[in-house]
Structures are given as structure tokens and as C-alpha cells.
A and B are shown apart, each in its own frame.
Chain A
Amino acid sequence: MTKLKRLNTIWAVLAFLGLAYSLTAYLIVQPQLVPSLAEPTAVIKLLGNLTIPALFVVGLYHLYLLMHAFRTLPGRHHGYFWHSCYVVFIALSGLFLISDLTLLSDIGKEYRLFSVREQWWMLYGFTGVHVAVCLAGALYSRKTPEQDRRLFDAIRSGNDAVFITLHHIGLLCGLMGIICAIVSFPDWIVTQRYSDPWMILLTCIALFPLALIVLYWVINNRKNPASAWLDEKQISDTAVASLAGFTAMLLSLPLCGALVWAGVTSLSAIRWFGLLFFIGLTVFCGAVIWRNRTAE
């Protein structure tokens, strides 16, 4: 067994132990945490406190999977879309780990006064996502990188796989953002008072996977001139795609206006700006992929 495969196995085992512990703790604690319980018992407190390091280990495994996914990009020749989906799901599942902690905290504070059933269901749902991602990661990360080239060295040398996958991730994030924006348009879904924070939250979640990869790119390339990040055709494709994205944003403005006039929504600035931004992002990334479609 190679060093990398041994490392994969150790990480996977630790993550699954963490998830198994968390799930067991939830199942034990949930029936005991009833409004009549004035103060959580010592056992409940212990189980709750141990959940934090367990989720931390799962979070580290997510980070490991993300790094592995980035490293395997340069050697890929096809299947960019599915690899992008994999990266997006790891990033979102990692973000949901923070939600797990918030939900646990909410449950601890509110169980005496309010029903916390929905929080528990969300917790189980997110745990299901973590299990799915860790399972996929455990299987997928057994593949070692074909080329021992760092991701952004590969980008600098004009690697197709990295360039196209980046835009696939952008496309997925853009589509998620459009769906989030449209779903939260009708005023009866989220009341006016909470609609702006709701839209900001959804925007942050939708952009998180893209932000991660862009941040990593910027950090790794900070000492290089921007002109060296992409090759000339990639720059040309990006320029054409930018024009397409901008045009799509302009054409979408009347659509936003029509939604307001039709009384579908009151459309605060954050909501219409969010929608326009995600339309622009989706069209931009889609245009780059379209111009590179024959590479796959």
C-alpha cells in the first residue's frame, strides 16, 4: 500500500468514525431532549461536547478531499462535469458542517420553549450529505494524481482540464444561485423583513465552492503577472464569454422589471442584483465551456 493510499484510508476511517459517533449521539440525545427537561443531563452535555471534535475531524477530511480533487484535476482528460459536481458537493457539505454546529446550538437553546423537530431533520439531512460525500470521496480519492503537477502550475501552462473544470464549477454555482434567487422571489416564501438576509445567505452558499477555488488560485499565483495565468486562447475565450455574460445581464433587466410589475415580488435591490449576477456568471461560464466543447 502506498503512502498516499494509506493516508486516504486513515482519513476515511477517522471521518466515518466521526460521522458514526455524531449520528449515534443525535439518536441518543433527540428523544431525551424534551421541554420538560429543565437542564440537560451530564450524559447529554458530554455527548454534545464530543460532537464538536467529531465534526472537526469530518471537516478536516472534507478539506483533504477538496485538496485531492484539486490535485487530480491536471491529469484529467474527460469527465470534467462530474469532477466539478464532486468539488461542489464537497465544498457545500463542508459548509453544512458549520450549519450542524449552529443547529446543535439552536436545539440546546430552544428545546425548552419551541419545537426543534425541524432542526433535527435538517441535522439528519446534512449528516446524510456528509455520509454521501465521504463515501464518494473514500472511493474517488483512491485514484492518485496522474501528474504530480500543482494545480496552478498546470493552469499557468494552459491546462485544459483545470480551465474547463473551473468554469464547470462556476456554471454549477451560477445555476444554484439562479434557482435560489427564483425560489425566494415570491414574497410568501420569505417575509419581506427576512428576504434580504435570506438572499445574502443563499448567495454566499451558492458562491462558496467557486470562491474556494478562486481564492486558492489567487494565493498560489500572487507572485506571477496576471498575463501568465492563462494562455492566449483562454484569454480570448474569457473575453468573448465576458461579453456574453454582460449582454445576458442587460437582457435580464427587463425580466426583473416584468416580475415586479406583474406583482410576483417586490424585488429588493439585493434580490434583483443577486439574480442578475448569477445569470451573468452562468452565461459567462457556459460560454467558456461552449467555446472549449471540442476539447472533451
Chain B
Amino acid sequence: MKLNNRLRKLRFEQDEMTQQALADALGVSRMTVYSIEKGKYVPSTLLALKLAGVFGKPVEEIFYLGDAVSGNEEENEHD
């Protein structure tokens, strides 16, 4: 089962935060943020909690289990 996320939506709700800005806030590379957002990489618990801290949301509001089509409407979009 795929782990989907609402990262892109949350970034844009947060003053259209760029992937690089989010990466800097988390202390990771932009590629890592990009890969998580596209669902290509599943972050560690630590990184997921850091993400939750940046957006001020619980982890389950950022990540959710579901099929790829219905879960991630921003699948093909990126910066």
C-alpha cells in the first residue's frame, strides 16, 4: 500500500513555500523533499515529525495510506 501525502498542498498554504525552503527548514536536500512529495521516498519517523513541526499539523494530516490515484492529486506536479 502506498503512502500518500499532502505536502504540496501544505507548502502552498504556507505562503507558497518552495521545496528548497522546506528542505532548508528540515536540514535535508531539495531532492529528498521532492522524492517524499512525489511518493518515491518514505521518510523516517524523525523526518515525518519534523515535517509535522514545520507545518504545525499532526503527521496523519500530512501522510495517509491509500491508492496512488485517489490519494495524491498533485502526483505529476512539482516546482
Contact = CB atoms under 8 A, between A and B. Distances in A.
Contact of A232 (B23, B34, B47): B47
A158 B33 CA distance: 11
A157 B35 contact: no
Interface stretch (B24-32, B53-61, B62-70): B24-32
A260 to B, nearest CB: 42
A233 B30 contact: no
Contact of B28 (A231, A294, A295): A231
A192 interface: no
Interface in B2-41: 23-24, 27-32, 34-36, 38, 41
A295 B31 contact: yes
B34 A158 contact: no
A295 B27 contact: no
Given A233-B35, A294-B34, A295-B34, A160 B29 contact: yes
A231 B29 contact: yes
Contact of B24 (A157, A163, A234, A294): A157
A233 B32 contact: yes
A295 B41 contact: no
A234 B34 contact: no
Contacts of B36: 233
B27 A232 contact: no
Contact of A158 (B23, B38, B41, B43): B23
Contacts of B76: none
A231 B24 contact: no
Query: A interface, how many residues as a size bin?
Result: 10 to 19
A159 B33 CA distance: 12
B79 to A, nearest CB: 11
A236 B41 contact: yes
Given A158-B32, A295-B34, A233 B27 contact: no
A158 B26 CA distance: 10
The winner among B23, B32, B34 for most chain A CB atoms within 10 A is: B32
Given A232-B47, A294-B34, A295-B34, A163 B41 contact: no
23 contacts: A157-B24, A158-B23, A158-B27, A158-B28, A158-B29, A160-B31, A163-B29, A231-B27, A231-B29, A231-B32, A232-B28, A232-B32, A232-B44, A232-B46, A233-B28, A233-B32, A233-B36, A234-B29, A234-B32, A292-B31, A294-B31, A294-B35, A295-B34
Interface of B: 23-24, 27-32, 34-36, 38, 41, 43-44, 46-47
Given A158-B23, A163-B31, A233-B36, 17 more contacts: A157-B24, A157-B27, A158-B27, A159-B29, A160-B29, A160-B31, A163-B29, A231-B28, A231-B29, A232-B44, A233-B29, A233-B31, A236-B41, A294-B38, A295-B29, A295-B31, A295-B34
Closest 4 A/B residue pairs (Cβ): A158-B29, A233-B32, A231-B28, A295-B31
